[in-house]
Amino acid sequence: MLSNKEALALADQIEAALPDAEAFGASGGDDLCKTYRSLAPSIKALLPVIALIPGVGPAVAKALKLLMGIADQLCPTS
């Protein structure tokens, strides 16, 4: 399990890697798969921490796993 410091560092890394909405819209979403592939390992590492959030954590972690599974199908690595 990640320490609080490690989890926050991963969250900061994800936030820094996300394009702003204006830039993303201008690109037409062309870099969506590239961005997803670069962030997926960090998101996967944070899932256990997200699941610990009281009340909504388990549902949010489950939803993220589902969305990541869809993204894995839409953005194949090879």
Kindly report, residue by residue over 1-28, the tens digit of the pLDDT: 788 888 888 888 888 877 676 666 566 5
Distance CA(43)–CA(74), nearest Å, equals: 17
Instruction: Give the DSSP letter of residue 18.
Output: S
Alpha helices in 1-78 (DSSP H): 4-17, 21-27, 32-51, 57-74
3-state secondary structure of 7: helix
Domain that holds residue 45: 4-74
Number of structural domains in the chain: 1
Q: Specify the pTM.
A: 0.70
